[in-house]
Amino acid sequence: MSNKHAYAVAAGHQRTASAAELILQRGGNAFDAILAAMMMSFVAEPLLSSPGGGGFLLAAGPNQPPQLLDFFSDTPSVPAAEIKQRNLDFYPIVGNFGTRSQEFHIGHAAAAVPAVPAGIFKIHQSLCSLPLNEIAQPAIEAAEQGVLINHQQAYVAMILKPIINATAESKALFSGMNTGTVWKNRQLATFLDSLSRSDHDWFYRGAVAQAITSQGDGILSETDFNSYQCKVRIPLKLTLGQHQLYTNPQPSSGGYLIFEQLKRLKSRHDPSAVLEAMQHADDLKRNPMAEVSRGTTHMSVTDTEGNLASLTLSNGEGNGQVAADCGFMLNNFLGEEDINTGGFFNWQKQQRMQSMMSPTLLLHPERQIALGTGGSNRIKTALFQVLNHLINDQKILKHAIEAPRMHYENGHLDLEPGFDPVDSAQLKKQNPIYSEWHNHNLYFGGVNAVQTGNTVAATGDFRRNGCGIVGVRQ
């Protein structure tokens, strides 16, 4: 759409995108809309997104210099040496993620402090124009009335079945997530209604925090909740010709690796050069990098004023524990080996945990794009390839996202179908250890992106049943 007064929304579920559009139609800005989308994702994508997890928002606009709001979790305040592991609720589960099985840990002691509520309050306080209870209303109504479960959400429930069945509360809440069924969550509706009429202390010093910290077989304490704050950071920046890119800075790792791959391309940007750049990024991982997480989703919004919002959320796989009377599962960030690279219960206390999540902005005089993806360690390669198509191949947004992808990690190359046979042969020659996929797969990420400027566009990644909406405010 060429109308400069149009808005665009892209998200991992149609209901998530529609909540943002509704708020835009009611006069909200991109940041009001991204909050509405976030809260709707708790309802429509409840095993990928949760108030019990963490995330990042990259925000920019004509009157808003790019800033990164970091509401990912901190490590606990208790020194690792003081932990008596035999007393903790912390145990392994094996999940089948389609391409492979993986062990991770769940239980009360797998949860880091929930960070999403702090993000909601900070985003609303610093960027929004509408009352929070108005922004939350679409999600509250959806939780009460129910959402129709699609194939994608049923598939996620299937691969996370060992976690869903871990406790009676989790099983009661999530076991009905089958394709074609209507899933309701009245406890979540009540929680969101209370949150939307409250403030930071309501969650971090109130009954929810007290219920979580009272668990004797967990790790989190009142100090963890009382001290937690959303942090505002200066984004990582890279200039390539007329393009300015912004993404998630340290302590997270994904943005740095994406930029290193882009810089490596130099004068070549063909598939062979793309693979060489991926191999370079893999070599940079002399120390294991954080790779959050299977349970991840992304949403992007631009409004009629040219504001851009790019937000990525994760709940890990979830720890199997439902927050009492709140209708959501807590994260299992302390039980993910990818994040805890030094071993479990071996952290430096009260440090912001690392993440591969990389909400990103691509700014050009003619078009401005907000994008991001879920996909664990594939985040860095999925976004790199889409950005390469946009910057160097000059593809339109839809074609950049739908183009076939590859992923390189630890000497192994994965290839989606669709590459030119000559390019495919060269890639296999470059890297003899490879797997050819017979179809496009959520393994390769789910890039949801919007564009404003000379053309307004929105694309939700078909690999994860994404949804893109473009409209004009009535």
Integer Cα distance of 6 and 313 in angstroms? 26
Length of the chain: 474
Q: What is the largest CA-CA distance in the chain?
A: 62
Strand partners, 69: 57, 232
Integer Cα distance of 325 and 321 in angstroms? 11
- Contact assessment for residue 312 and residue 372, using Cβ atoms and an 8 Å cutoff: yes
165 burial via Cβ count (<10 Å: 0-12, 13-18, 19+): middle
Q: Which two tokens stand for residue 443?
A: 């393994």
Question: Which is catalytic among the residues 296, 302, 360, 381?
Answer: 296
Look at the block and give the residue holding tokens 């809309």: 33
Reply yes or no on whether 296 is catalytic.
yes
Integer Cα distance of 388 and 296 in angstroms? 23
Catalytic residue IDs: 296
